[in-house]
Structure formats: structure tokens, C-alpha cells
Amino acid sequence: MSALYHPTLAKGRWYSLTLVEQLGNVGSEYERALKAKKNGDPTRFDQAFARMLELLDLTIGDARWKNHRLKELTRLREVLCDELWNEKQEYPQARDLREYFLYFGIAARNQQEKTQLVAK
């Protein structure tokens, strides 16, 4: 593996997050990569794309998701790479991955708010 963008997360903190928190973070990097690609900024795109894949690979490697979720996660990686990297997409049908990730972001925020309320 190349240099880590998220060394603290890779050392174990990532595995303390829930699936919705993990995918919410992957979605943030996806948004950054998408924006950089649309703005024609290859440096920012490459960095955001690499961070996104690093987080997604950490999620795929999380032992808690070695069940029915693993297939969805690996398929998600395939579709993300196809959408963001390939000039001619293998899967030409319209996908709205932004909406997919948005729901994880909202769920993660709601989950954090509940945790904060319980802690009070």
C-alpha cells in the first residue's frame, strides 16, 4: 500500500466507527473527487480519489462487514472507480451515488446527535 492519507484511522480508529459513519466519510471524499473532476483539477482529483479508495478499502477490510455487506461494498468500489476514473463508463446507466452517500451522511449525523444526547 502507498502512503496513508488517514494514518490514525488506519491504525484502528476506523474500526470503531459504525458502517454509516464509515460510508459517510467515504461519501465526503467522493464529493471532493467529483467536484475536482468537474472543475478540471487533476491534482485535487487524484488526491481525493486516493483518499476515497483508502477509506473504502478500510471499510471493506473491516471484519464486521465480512457478511452480506461485503458484496455491496466491493461492488460500490467497482462502480465508483468506473464512474470517476474511466472516460467510457462500463455501466452507462445513470447512477446517483451522491444521493446514496447523502443518506449515510445524514444517518451518521443523526447517530452522533443521539449519542451526544444520551451522554448528557
Global confidence as pTM: 0.84
pLDDT digits (tens, 9 = 90+) for 56-66: 999 999 999 99
Whether pLDDT at 71 is above 90: yes
Given a contact cutoff of 8 angstroms between Cβ atoms, the answer to whether 56 and 73 are in contact is yes
pLDDT digits (tens, 9 = 90+) for 26-61: 999 999 999 999 999 999 999 999 999 999 999 999
CB within 8 Å of 62: residues ≥ 6 apart: 14, 15, 22
Grid cell for residue 40:
478540471
Domain parsing of the chain, residue ranges: 14-119
Q: Specify the pLDDT at position 7.
A: 77
